[in-house]
Amino acid sequence: MKRREFIVAGTAATALTLTTRLAFAEAGRIDWYTTSDQNILDFWTNIVKPKFEAANPGITINLVDAGDNAGAQAIAERALAALGSSADPQVDMIEGFDARQPVGAVDKGLWVDFKAAGLSNYSKINPLALQIDGMPQNLPYRGSQVLLAFDTTKLAAADVPKTFADLIAWIKANPGQFIYNRPNKGGSGGNFVRRAIYEANGKDPSVFKVDNYSAEAGAKALEPAWALLNDLAPSLMDKGAYTSGNSQSIQLLGQGAVTMIPAWSDQTLAAIAQGALPETTGIVQLQDLGFPGGFSRFTVPSNGVNKDAALKLADFVLSEEIQSAVLTELGGFPGVSWDYVSADLREKFKDVIPASIPVFPGGDWEKAINEGWYRAVAPNIDPKS
């Protein structure tokens, strides 16, 4: 990945130097940055921007790819440095960003508090999304969740497992037809592993909190999960192989090497649209407890020249029009409650609508999972096989 990252970072750096040289914030032009992948930038370019500009004559959006989080953080630091002076931060919105950074920005009032900003659509936001994050300076607007993608030519939709126990039974009954990626190399395998951890701990996501990790709690919660996954390993592709990323799993499903994989909802729909996965790919969410996922958020700096226009955009993004497009065009989940998308979409996506979106905490738990899985589960594969 190094080379690709380098190219992306290099391109972003070039783009940044160009924009800082040539661009001065203009009244009525929202300077928008993103840390997300190309499919998100395409969504904003092709859907959000034209619709918003048509609805708000005189306001334009300048979409800029910040490359990654580090790129956006540099932009945010510039805004923080400009705070309290008359300097122009040249940024009005950062997509895919967390207001917890840069350090101290919230205390100094860099980010707009959306709760108090008077957005007409704020009350529509899925309470689950607010509860997961709990940071009023972050505005959740789209969700993504891991689900099962499968080959309908080999497995009829009616026979697809609906619970995790059924899934395990199916994997064992169909050896070699399932693969997930290493939990640290992409969220699809990572959240499959986390779902297995829930399964081994009474399917109760509330057991895991960002601050309740200890070595004993970790061993008690994780060891049964490792046993469960080890038990599964001989039934995986090549008797216990694990791909090194989300897209490699999708590639194996596309080549017909396996019948079912865990995959991100948006990535799967994009892969089907682009032909990387055939039209005959089916997707399904577990009904007893869904695979974990999360919400993406954006932030608005309080000192941007076009703050009011940016808040108008924020409100627009939460409207039914854009939230429905998140489902249909992006393959993500709406950031608003399901009641605020159109009824026919609710019906169409009922198979993937989760009863809940469990979110596994990061921090020490994540570290323990990454380390524990490699030591306890991964070596199952015989290097001489």
Partner 1 sequence: MTTTPAGDIAVATSSAGDIVGTRNRWYLGLLLVAAPVLLVCWLIIYPIVSAVIQTIWLPDGAGGFHLSFSTYAFFFSDDYSLANLWLTLWTTFVCAALLLVVCLPIAIYLRFSVGRLPAYVQALAIFPMFVPSIILSYAFIRVLGPNGMVDILLNAVHLPKMRSPYLTPWGPVIGLVWDHIPLTVLILLSGLGNVSNQSIEAARDVGAGRWTVLWHIILPRIGNAILVAASFAVLGIFSAFTIPYVLGPAAPEMMGPYMQRTFRELYDPTNAITQAVVSFGFCIVFGLFYVRSVARNQKT
Q: For residues 25 and 257, which CB has a smaller minimum distance to partner 1 in the complex?
A: 257
Pairing of strands 293-299, 93-95: antiparallel
Q: For residues 257 and 284, which CB has a smaller minimum distance to partner 1 in the complex?
A: 257
Q: Interface with partner 1 includes 175 (CB under 8 A)?
A: no
Phi/psi at 190 (nearest 5 deg)? -60, -45
Query: Binder to partner 1 among 152, 174, 184, 342 (CB under 8 A)?
Result: 184
Residues 113-132, buried b or exposed e (16+ Cβ, 10 A)?
ebeebebebbebbbebbbeb
Query: Binder to partner 1 among 224, 245, 278, 361 (CB under 8 A)?
Result: 245
Per DSSP, the three-state class of 230 is helix
Q: For residues 21 and 384, which CB has a smaller minimum distance to partner 1 in the complex?
A: 384
Q: For residues 104 and 383, which CB has a smaller minimum distance to partner 1 in the complex?
A: 383
Q: Interface with partner 1 includes 21 (CB under 8 A)?
A: no
Query: Binder to partner 1 among 248, 265, 285, 296 (CB under 8 A)?
Result: 248
Q: For residues 52 and 242, which CB has a smaller minimum distance to partner 1 in the complex?
A: 242
Q: Interface with partner 1 includes 375 (CB under 8 A)?
A: yes
Q: Which of 337, 297, 339 is CA-nearest to residue 133?
A: 297
Residue 296 CB partners (closer than 8 Å, separation 6+): 36, 40, 95, 96, 140, 141, 142, 143, 144, 332
What's the rounded Cα separation, in Å, for the pair 150 and 140? 29
Q: For residues 96 and 372, which CB has a smaller minimum distance to partner 1 in the complex?
A: 372
To partner 1, the closest distance from the beta carbon of 63 in angstroms equals 26
Q: Give the chain's radius of gyration (CA, Å).
A: 22
Q: Interface with partner 1 includes 8 (CB under 8 A)?
A: no
What tokens were used for 93? 């919105």
Using the 8-state DSSP alphabet, how is residue 351 labeled? T
Q: Interface with partner 1 includes 120 (CB under 8 A)?
A: no
Query: Are 65 and 72 spatial neighbours (Cβ–Cβ below 8 Å)?
Result: no
Query: Hey, which residues between 255 and 284 contact partner 1 (CB under 8 A)?
Result: 255-258
Q: Interface with partner 1 includes 244 (CB under 8 A)?
A: yes
Q: How many CB atoms lie within 10 A of CB 278?
A: 14
Site string for partner 1, 343-372 (x = CB under 8 A): ------------------------x--xx-
To partner 1, the closest distance from the beta carbon of 292 in angstroms equals 18
Query: Are 325 and 40 spatial neighbours (Cβ–Cβ below 8 Å)?
Result: no
To partner 1, the closest distance from the beta carbon of 375 in angstroms equals 5
Q: For residues 335 and 372, which CB has a smaller minimum distance to partner 1 in the complex?
A: 372
Q: Interface with partner 1 includes 383 (CB under 8 A)?
A: yes
What's the rounded Cα separation, in Å, for the pair 90 and 92? 7
Q: For residues 242 and 295, which CB has a smaller minimum distance to partner 1 in the complex?
A: 242
To partner 1, the closest distance from the beta carbon of 138 in angstroms equals 23
- Asked whether the CA dihedral 35, 80, 102, 59 is positive or negative, the reply is negative
Please, is 65 exposed, middle or buried when counting C-beta atoms within 10 Å of its C-beta (0-12, 13-18, 19+)?
A: buried
Query: Binder to partner 1 among 122, 242, 291, 333 (CB under 8 A)?
Result: 242
Please give the size of the binding site for partner 1, defined by CB under 8 A. Answer: 30
Q: For residues 254 and 293, which CB has a smaller minimum distance to partner 1 in the complex?
A: 254
Q: Interface with partner 1 includes 155 (CB under 8 A)?
A: no
What's the rounded Cα separation, in Å, for the pair 194 and 289? 12
Residues that bind partner 1 (CB under 8 A): 1-4, 182, 184, 237-238, 241-245, 248, 251-252, 255-258, 367, 370-371, 374-375, 378-379, 381, 383, 385
